[in-house]
Copies of this chain bind each other. A is one copy, B any other.
Amino acid sequence: MLKLSKLTDYAAVIMAQIARDPDQAHTASELAARVKLPHPTVGKTLKMLAKSGLLESRRGSHGGYVLSRSPADITASDLIAAIEGPIGMTECSHADGECGLLDSCGVADNWQRVSQAIRTLLDGVTLAHLAQSSPLKLPVQLPIQSVTLPTASGALREH
């Protein structure tokens, strides 16, 4: 369903918590309590975020995690990539991907373009946006297809 994994979801919630109080280090235990998730799970998530460079960690007593850069400079793409790896809709979205069906496929290029569009969209959403409690007006809500594409009736809107 084009869904984020639970861990990515947790990551977003945790990062938003940190972003709302960016000037001090946060421990896994503290965040687990605030977010109401089990400590081991939160710990794992934090480790992944640190490993991919979105958080900086300090070990030992009085340790914890801080953002490695401003919330406005951390994108949704970054979060997703940190937990789930490279974003791409299909196997062949990646440069080295070989599906062996390229000749009979005929849609690979176009899916890649769609992937790219989604990446671009997610690059435009920052942690600062996500952490906002006030309703966020995303520009991307524009009905893109009506701007430049001719057709697309858009039936089956019960998604």
Supply 9 A–B pairs (Cβ within 8 Å), ascending by A: A2-B4, A2-B89, A3-B89, A9-B111, A34-B104, A52-B156, A116-B138, A126-B151, A139-B145
Say whether B111 contacts A130, CB under 8 Å: yes
Say whether B2 contacts A80, CB under 8 Å: yes
| Contacts A2-B2, A126-B151, A159-B81 given; does A113 touch B138 at CB 8 Å | yes
Say whether B130 contacts A88, CB under 8 Å: no
- A contact residues vs B (CB 8 Å cutoff): 1-4, 6, 9, 12-13, 16-17, 20, 34-37, 52-53, 69, 72-73, 75-78, 80-81, 84-91, 93, 101, 104-107, 109-111, 113-114, 116-126, 128-133, 135-136, 138-156, 158-159
Say whether B91 contacts A120, CB under 8 Å: no
Among candidates B88, B116, B139, B149, residue contacting A147 with C-beta atoms closer than 8 Å: B139
Q: How far is the CA of A114 from the CA of B37 in the complex (A)?
A: 24
Residue of B whose beta carbon sits closest to that of A36:
B104
| Contacts A86-B1, A132-B110 given; does A72 touch B138 at CB 8 Å | no
Q: How far is the CB of A68 from chain B (nearest CB, A)?
A: 10
